[in-house]
Structure 1
């Protein structure tokens, strides 16, 4: 795996070259938090923007939370952004990152996987790193028959058995890259895999059958309304409550999110609201959301709030669901 990695490692902005000195812990930590439930393609531009604006953990710690939340928009799972800020402040106060898994796990927003990844990649410690890509590779190599998520202890034990004492950070990244480019969820490129000779799933003739996953329960459907109030080329934006889903983010006003379509439910203020025929759909971790779109033009006596230029909406830092709604409403030319 290490020989394969030396030849095929992905060029990622938070990585050091294979076999070289460990990279900056700040960049490793930031990338690992960003990559949770998010693709490398989505993280690349966000990571570049973050390190350009906040080149150190001390700079990030000193940033206003509202600026950080706006910069995070589009990455989803916004509790990560709040934990990111809390963690940066903790690290800045203590004068740097802990260099052990135990110390790293004590930081806000750093769980078992992230602590292991940072310890191995940034500090060269032997740590067992199991993300989704690694889990898939290991499940196939050992043909682990226990279904996910219950198989995670088995996968971790198996990964522990093959993790080397030296270059464990490079080994973890090699396994990640293998899962990303070769041992893919569908149509794995087994003939190009350095582990094919030792892979039980490959020998079985059904590598795609691993890892075994239980059928997912259907996500519940919820409904709501987004309100677009426009006044002289500006749109009313609000701040969501600091805690809860999309907490602290700039957003368009909404009514409640309920189990049944609300029609014109709980507008933020009285106006000649019109319902557009379009709706916007978005999927969160635990539910699907369909949003009706209500629009109104208001005169100079509109409500007090943050009025944002329609032409600059793309820079407002709206979460994806509200950015989708803004795009749909502007396209409707109502």
Structure 2
């Protein structure tokens, strides 16, 4: 029976629409499974779990270089590795890195080995057709290898092919699209945890922001009684104990946790752990930045409970308690 909140990406029971994707030459390039369908006007919380395969050729002219003119993509590279061609640069992306793509960024990939490639999207229609494609596959099993069909899979107006890229090879640190929790855009230390900004709100069309939190054992956070947003987290290291309503469970690496709106919940780090806030609705950067400013410039004001309460309300922070348990 599927867990109501915990999604183990390696458990087939959680694969909503598993499909195989083939190139024009018939070579299988990807095993893809939809994990969570897009939600709301910005198609948020869309999740796919893929295994990408090396192509028959690594020539830049055969990399399927393309751009999207809508949508934002974050890919967690969890195994294998790939060469990323983007914005005139080529770099190797090893496991543990995150690729952030915005509209109009032409990109191509050469996967050096089978690669676990976990995608989180918003404002992109890449999973909209999953239910009808499942029906098509049942009725016409060969359709997925028919180029007359595959060109329509992503939906109209979403993908535009580009010419083979001209590039300069650089280390990943010099490619802005490759993000890593070891080199965040900003970081803030809390009691028992460090929050690190991976992508900013201005890089996501104002919809959300991506944060990673490195937690020490015993780090604890409790949300308000009726949180106003659906939340989603991705655990990449260690173990995190969640309590949602009256159910307690442990999330471990390669697990997504989806918590419904209004659900009271809390977390405790059971070990050193790393977790990402995928939904990213809280304006964490603004909240933590202003909190730091008040602590630095007006420490007496910071001691007043109403000061932080007003700051939380202003920036949509639904956490009631935070620190060590």
TM-score with structure 1 length normalisation? 0.23
Q: Which has the higher strand share?
A: 2
Which structure carries more helix by proportion?
A: 1
TM-score (norm 2): 0.23
**Rg larger for:** 1
